[in-house]
């Protein structure tokens, strides 16, 4: 019964927060109400150095996204590579085994119940952040970090919890490979790595900015799974598999 009530509260709170985040008209001005034609940011969004392209290069309402995922996309791939090397180094140095570390102080019921409630909320908000990275501040790295923080909370609150490392490894590898594949498609087809070859759509809408939201989803999944692997490696005992 306690588990059912905790799950029900989590779903209710998550739906409430997600609805507030998605329907932001009550907190922020609706997109398009302010005249942006004469602003520097609007000119940057509509910048088009490719005369053959009938739509803006990025189509991102978030200016930072235009730089990080489009014009500086190769550098972002380098940051993902650094994170991958760090995770691999932790796994090799710690000689990870199957058994997790047991804390001296056992987590009590209040901690377990509280984490069960907030973990689902953290996951939903983290996913929201990297899905809407081309519209609002955020993106793959902060969204992925939030996903990993929920895994850390589960480790702290439950001494019997052990994440499915194989699932995270598959998710991490698949996301990284897909980012590289999309970059190579742009390189060979349009002579530019991570070229935004999809239509940008209407600026300010969820399905807009071409390739950008797809990249942010892949980056968020990769960062979240990679950081979760690092947490799991630190909290498991070394030994033979």
Please tell me the pTM assigned to this model: 0.73
Identify the band that residue 41 occupies on the pLDDT scale cut at 50, 70 and 90: low
Position 217 pLDDT exceeds 90? yes
Query: For the chain, how many residues are written?
Result: 241
Q: Tell me what pLDDT residue 128 has.
A: 92
Q: Tell me what pLDDT residue 126 has.
A: 92
228 burial (CB, 10 Å; 0-12 / 13-18 / 19+) is buried
Instruction: Show Cβ contacts of residue 23 under 8 Å, excluding neighbours closer than 6 positions.
Output: none
From residue 114, how far is each of 104, 174, 189 by CA, in Å? 20, 32, 50
Which tens digits make up the pLDDT trace of 14-36?
A: 777 777 666 555 555 565 566 66
Position 139 pLDDT exceeds 70? yes
Cα 21 to Cα 27: distance, rounded to the nearest angstrom: 9
Q: Tell me what pLDDT residue 181 has.
A: 92
Q: How many CB atoms lie within 10 A of CB 47?
A: 13
What's the whole-number average pLDDT of the chain?
A: 78
- The residue-averaged pLDDT of 83-98 equals 77
Cα 239 to Cα 147: distance, rounded to the nearest angstrom: 27
Cα 140 to Cα 201: distance, rounded to the nearest angstrom: 21
Query: Among the residues of the chain, which ranges form H helices?
Result: 2-22, 40-45, 63-65, 73-94, 109-131, 140-157, 165-190, 212-234
Q: What angle do CA 3, 6, 8 make, to 5 degrees?
A: 110
Handedness of CA 144, 145, 151, 154 (dihedral sign): negative
The residue that leads in pLDDT, 32 or 168, is 168
Report residue 210 as tokens.
């071409």
């Amino acid at each position: 019964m306690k588990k059912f009530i905790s799950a029900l509260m989590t779903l209710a709170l998550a739906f409430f927060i997600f609805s507030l985040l998605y329907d932001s008209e009550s907190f922020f001005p609706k997109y398009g109400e302010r005249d942006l034609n004469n602003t520097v940011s609007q000119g940057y969004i509509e910048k088009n150095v490719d005369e053959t392209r009938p739509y803006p290069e990025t189509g991102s309402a978030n200016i930072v996204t235009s730089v990080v995922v489009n014009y500086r996309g190769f550098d972002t791939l380098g940051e993902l590579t650094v994170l991958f090397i760090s995770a691999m180094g932790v796994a090799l140095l710690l000689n990870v085994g199957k058994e997790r570390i047991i804390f001296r102080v056992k987590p009590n019921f209040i901690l377990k119940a509280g984490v069960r409630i907030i973990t689902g909320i953290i996951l939903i908000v983290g996913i929201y952040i990297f899905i809407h990275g081309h519209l609002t501040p955020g993106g793959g790295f902060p969204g992925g970090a939030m996903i990993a923080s929920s895994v850390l909370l589960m480790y702290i609150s439950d001494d019997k919890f052990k994440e499915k490392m194989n699932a995270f490894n598959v998710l991490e590898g698949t996301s990284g490979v897909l980012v590289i594949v999309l970059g190579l498609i742009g390189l060979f087809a349009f002579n530019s790595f991570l070229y935004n070859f999809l239509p940008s759509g209407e600026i300010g809408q969820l399905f807009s900015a071409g390739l950008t939201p797809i990249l942010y989803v892949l980056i968020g999944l990769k960062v979240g799974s990679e950081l979760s692997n690092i947490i799991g490696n630190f909290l498991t005992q070394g030994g033979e598999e």
